[in-house]
Structure 1
């Protein structure tokens, strides 16, 4: 399978400004991992500029558009060949979902993809897994300077250096792999008068890494949970497949088909609710004193939203621990629930929400259309308990079988 690269990066010569920026990105990458706030650790006016830049960047790179669909289909086709090669023998879905999602976000950010058997791809996945072990980038200490972090949390200090290794690996690529971020950075620099926020090369590099790191782990884990629930609830899997076949026949399922597959969409929503990929939001702070629910919160307090409590609250969900896609259906259509917040809530809601939804929908529907998923060992029922050593909620390792339709 051939690697793809950005047409613009391939065909357009680098301007002097771009050459200087690429050099600065490589130079700043070592310090920006520690000091550059990116989009995750930014606040106030600078955060609003950076978030706007990040969302617009994802749109410019094709999120929600046909151009990104083709990248996703490339990974679905590669996964199809990978699964067929197992010959219906048990395989590890976690490895498969990690390769697919990492390749998609890598293609968006760096303009290329890896074959599934390439060592660099597996090395990145291994580092990302280590990075999201409990105490990693999403912890409250994530914004501490190194000297303090080494004292208060040695494990977090070690995790940060894993992030550094990933960043160093990416900065070793030539400028074309940073590709259109260079164009967008220069455009933002022209439009913004200030030198703050998005208007620094180091911060731009940190935004790139935020997208790459956060966009790989969370979505691949969600698709991993989805395959697990499909194999553990074969009747519901068949119901999804029948709906897909009725609406789409034998053609590929596209992003524009989502309104015609209400039960399948409800299945995906229920997976997100019960799996609780992010049990808490990232830590944030309030710039002024506030009162919330009768509690006085002083300015500059560290605040994290308990997303798990919202997704599992009996006040809002009947039998919340039971997997039931029908709870998201009304009159044959899916509907939004006020207590459902897998991507956090408020102004700091995940900037990659649209990308994640597109990936989950297209991968799940097209794989269900092509395969029947079953337990690796028919007599072994999975317990759905997450791995508690991770920041994100991941299922304990399991094996699956997939039979072509």
Structure 2
């Protein structure tokens, strides 16, 4: 509801006061692009105190990549990006790992239950987590591993609890509400599982570190700490663990949520599903899907783009902090904007105002993949900023796009998806940090 309210007010800049703190909401592509891209030097910072108190206390000591302040963030992000690219992110030699995971997922979760309703959202998260695990640790986990399933479950619990805590931090008396209204208790309990396990894994890598055989992200992080000059004290064990958790969160939840939306949209729009499958049959037949096939599957690619647009996976980007006073001076969709933003103010970026902009996307609340095949296609693709924009945009975008393409195309090649008889698709997302579909079950039928 909050996301839709912001969307109603899109193409403007306005200030809201929550819990006595003023925050500036930025809406519309032109203004977001001006502030985050053209003026990135003053808008790319992020403060730990933008988070709920129990998170900010941790983030101040071990911010990882997400919550590091701008100068430190540049160093950590540059290292993460170059290392993940070495591990194959966005490159063709990562494909075999992803395809192996897709086949393992199908064999374990789908094939034994063909024709039966299954809960997709919980299981698909394990698959996307395994792709990330292969890059961070050099190996995947078994789907029967009880601790792996618990660890991933606590990630989701923490995400949901953090959403509650982020809202509650703006209500001064929220801590006195009965139960766990603020989500802090659930978040702390989840952290008692995820954080110690992350540090245990760091210690395991550290104990077996071989400078002549640095094959994983964590190995390279720890080696960098030992061998390189680290005057800023960034490459600590704590930051290694926190960066690992953040990479899992970024590379797991958003991708699995997008895949879940894609399956739900195919159930809700069987005519679109038929077109996708006809295109795949005509172009690929039964040949194994490759990432480069997206160039010869324009309709399938359009469906993925429309899923990212309408699904609006991250409605509000993580906050930014202005380093200095900034004046917006321009005209947005015939609305004259002249507003000075104070230094240090927190910026909330309304991504829904871009993805659901009716000036660019006709009937933005409808699922219409053909919009990416007709008209100004370049403009529409440019405005489909599902992974953010500016210097703080998602560093795993290349990996996410590859996973989405390979998973979705393989699923459509091999299965028809539908809802159980009598079930009506609920296309209203559960709006939080990640906008996910409400819980549903899907039936996979072999084609």
Length-normalised TM-score, structure 2: 0.75
Tell me which residue corresponds to 1:307.
351
- Once the two structures are superposed, residues 355-381 of structure 1 have per-residue CA deviations (whole angstroms, 9 ceiling, x without a partner) of 11111110000111111111122x222
Q: Is 1:323–2:367 an aligned residue pair?
A: yes
Q: Is 1:393–2:435 an aligned residue pair?
A: yes
Deviation at 1:326, TM superposition (A): 1.0
Q: Is 1:88–2:131 an aligned residue pair?
A: no
Q: Using a 3 Å threshold, how does the CA distance of structure 1 residues 324 and 154 change in structure 2: closer, same or farther?
A: closer
Q: Is 1:102–2:129 an aligned residue pair?
A: yes
- Cα distance in 1 between the residues matched to 2:318 and 2:379: 26
- Cα distance in 1 between the residues matched to 2:79 and 2:416: 41
Give the length in aligned residue pairs.
Answer: 367
Q: Is 2:161–2:187's contact at 8 Å kept on the other side of the alignment? A: no
- Cα distance in 1 between the residues matched to 2:441 and 2:189: 32
Deviates more, 1:92-101 or 1:159-168: 159-168
Deviates more, 1:163-172 or 1:99-108: 163-172
Structure 1: segments with no counterpart, 5+ residues: 1-30, 143-148
- Cα distance in 2 between the residues matched to 1:179 and 1:33: 28
Q: Is 2:319–2:348's contact at 8 Å kept on the other side of the alignment? A: yes
1:44 to 70, 85, 92: 70
Q: Is 1:273–1:342's contact at 8 Å kept on the other side of the alignment? A: yes
Q: Is 1:75–1:104's contact at 8 Å kept on the other side of the alignment? A: yes
Q: Is 1:369–2:395 an aligned residue pair?
A: no
- Cα distance in 2 between the residues matched to 1:334 and 1:240: 21
SS at match of 1:135: helix
- Once the two structures are superposed, residues 145-198 of structure 1 have per-residue CA deviations (whole angstroms, 9 ceiling, x without a partner) of xxxx98999524642552342021232242269962344236645896552274
Q: Using a 3 Å threshold, how does the CA distance of structure 1 residues 257 and 335 change in structure 2: closer, same or farther?
A: farther
- Cα distance in 2 between the residues matched to 1:197 and 1:46: 10
Deviation at 1:340, TM superposition (A): 1.9
Q: Using a 3 Å threshold, how does the CA distance of structure 1 residues 32 and 223 change in structure 2: closer, same or farther?
A: same
Q: Using a 3 Å threshold, how does the CA distance of structure 1 residues 86 and 186 change in structure 2: closer, same or farther?
A: closer
Q: Using a 3 Å threshold, how does the CA distance of structure 1 residues 139 and 232 change in structure 2: closer, same or farther?
A: same
SS at match of 2:183: helix
Structure 1 segment 318-357 matched on structure 2, within 5 A: 318-330=362-374, 336-357=380-401
Q: Using a 3 Å threshold, how does the CA distance of structure 1 residues 354 and 60 change in structure 2: closer, same or farther?
A: same
Structure 2: segments with no counterpart, 5+ residues: 1-56, 329-336
Tell me which residue corresponds to 2:283.
247
SS at match of 1:294: strand
SS at match of 1:223: helix
Deviation at 1:333, TM superposition (A): 7.5
Tell me which residue corresponds to 1:20.
none
Q: Is 2:261–2:311's contact at 8 Å kept on the other side of the alignment? A: yes
Deviation at 1:136, TM superposition (A): 4.1
Structure 1 segment 40-189 matched on structure 2, within 5 A: 40-81=66-107, 82-133=109-160, 135-136=162-163, 139=166, 154-156=182-184, 158-173=186-201, 174-175=204-205, 180-185=216-221, 188-189=224-225
The alignment yields a C-alpha RMSD, in angstroms, of 2.9
Structure 1 segment 189-200 matched on structure 2, within 5 A: 189=225, 193-196=229-232, 198-200=234-236
Q: Is 1:104–1:113's contact at 8 Å kept on the other side of the alignment? A: yes
Deviation at 1:129, TM superposition (A): 1.6
Deviates more, 1:72-81 or 1:363-372: 72-81
Q: Using a 3 Å threshold, how does the CA distance of structure 1 residues 334 and 44 change in structure 2: closer, same or farther?
A: closer
SS at match of 2:362: coil
Q: Is 1:111–1:179's contact at 8 Å kept on the other side of the alignment? A: yes
SS at match of 1:397: coil
- Cα distance in 1 between the residues matched to 2:402 and 2:165: 24
Q: Is 1:32–1:206's contact at 8 Å kept on the other side of the alignment? A: no
- Cα distance in 1 between the residues matched to 2:383 and 2:121: 28
Tell me which residue corresponds to 2:50.
none
Higher share of residues assigned strand: 2
Q: Is 1:32–1:202's contact at 8 Å kept on the other side of the alignment? A: no
